[in-house]
Amino acid sequence: MSSSYSQEPPSTAKVILYTSVGEIAIDLFASQTPLACKSFIQNCLDNYYLGCEFHRVVPGFCVQTGDPSNTGDGGVNGAYGAPFADEIHSRLRFRTRGMVAMANANKPNSNGSQFFITLDKCEELERKHTIFGKVADATIFNVIRIGEGELEEGTERPVHPVRITGAEVVVNPFENIVARTKKAADADEAAKDTAADGKGKVRQREGRAQLSKARKNLVSFDDDDGDGGGDDDDHNHHDDDDERRGAAISSSYCWL
């Protein structure tokens, strides 16, 4: 095992990206970079990256993706609704190819949904970008294949961009990070249960009131002003929707 591998912390999460040239398995450093990993996993669970192109290819340096607009100027963070902070860790370095890091808007703490994968060591990027993962095993050769694609003349834009066709979260250490569609379904089900429970309590109160009135009429022949007693509990319905919408990042992503 090389020294660059042994110095990295153990990964605690894993995602597989499916692309038009094959799989890219990514081991995630979720303990060291929880903000980036939560965002990345959320986006994968939501199929946010579906159709994203590797819109930028810098031969021998890196490939970049994660922008649904495929322009390089877009990208929404899936977990926080706004750009999130950098997470620089001393044991995560650009020492070798296959490092997965957040692209940014050329300023600190401007991470969104875009990310890049290195094709070689990139020491000039140290402490400028959050490294949150590393390409696993032989799937690095699919990344290399992306990096060898033909480019439009004078640009970093591929002539035939490789696309992300799907994502699978293999290991998710964050219990609260689930697909947004599942969150919405769970919230709807909880609301239905609350409504049904509320209706049941109303029916119970009405039944108790009718029984109380009937009993009072039986024992108080001379008293006709019975009021139908019973509880008048107030019901407070709380709709706690903690879904956070993504915020578009307008500035172009770059590294230098």
For residues 22 and 42, give the distance between their C-alpha atoms in angstroms, rounded to a whole number: 22
54 in catalytic set: no
For residues 255 and 222, give the distance between their C-alpha atoms in angstroms, rounded to a whole number: 90
- Which one of the listed residues 40, 61, 94, 132 is annotated catalytic? 61
- Which one of the listed residues 29, 40, 116, 132 is annotated catalytic? 116
Name the token pair of 163. Answer: 């696309």
Residue 237 in contact with residue 194, Cβ under 8 Å? yes
- Which one of the listed residues 43, 92, 125, 142 is annotated catalytic? 125
Any idea what DSSP says for residue 252? P
Residue 171 in contact with residue 26, Cβ under 8 Å? no
User: Which residues fall within 8 angstroms of residue 1, CB to CB, at 6 or more apart?
Assistant: none
Residue 39 in contact with residue 111, Cβ under 8 Å? yes
64 in catalytic set: yes
**Any idea what the Cα angle at residue 86 is, between residues 5 and 240, rounded to 5°?**
115
- Which one of the listed residues 104, 111, 114, 142 is annotated catalytic? 104
89 in catalytic set: no
125 in catalytic set: yes
- Which one of the listed residues 56, 97, 163, 180 is annotated catalytic? 56
Closest CA to 20 of 64, 51, 62: 51
Q: What spatial distance separates the first Cα and last Cα of the chain, rounded to whole Å? A: 31
- Which one of the listed residues 32, 64, 111, 172 is annotated catalytic? 64
210 in catalytic set: no
129 in catalytic set: yes
180 in catalytic set: no
- Which one of the listed residues 55, 93, 97, 129 is annotated catalytic? 129
Active site residues: 56, 61, 64, 104, 116, 125, 129
